[in-house]
Amino acid sequence: DAGVTQSPTHLIKTRGQQVTLRCSPKSGHDTVSWYQQALGQGPQFIFQYYEEEERQRGNFPDRFSGHQFPNYSSELNVNALLLGDSALYLCASSLRGAAAQQYFGPGTRLTVT
């Protein structure tokens, strides 16, 4: 049973560029949440997708957008990258309506230069 997978593992981008990160949820899960973890900090919630719609959003600007596909996989897009967007981006999957267990992927390390 595959857990949560994310790609790519590492990414280096330049300020002003755009980036797309990908996540495949754990088998049987239908909800995907994205978190940003800056160095030395705890993860911060970006947004959550269920039934291909954004259901909840944290305090992040519109430069952060996402998408969920019919197979429940998800993408996180960040436009006009800033140096401060450098972080570990974590995807978590869960089954809506079930007991509270969000499983995290290994993350994508984004470096903006």
Partner 1 sequence: GEDVEQSLFLSVREGDSSVINCTYTDSSSTYLYWYKQEPGAGLQLLTYIFSNMDMKQDQRLTVLLNKKDKHLSLRIADTQTGDSAIYFCAESMSGNTPLVFGKGTRLSVIA
Residues that bind partner 1 (CB under 8 A): 4, 6, 31, 33, 35, 40-45, 48, 50, 56, 58, 90, 92, 94, 96-107
| Min dist. Cβ of residue 16 to partner 1 (A) | 27
| Min dist. Cβ of residue 89 to partner 1 (A) | 10
- Sign of the Cα torsion 49, 50, 51, 56 reads negative
- Asked whether 108 and 13 are in contact (CB, 8 A), the reply is no
- Sign of the Cα torsion 22, 58, 85, 62 reads positive
* 14 vs 39, beta carbon nearer partner 1: 39
* 25 vs 43, beta carbon nearer partner 1: 43
8: cis peptide before it, omega within 30°? yes
User: Which structure tokens are listed for 3?
Assistant: 């857990």
* 39 vs 83, beta carbon nearer partner 1: 39
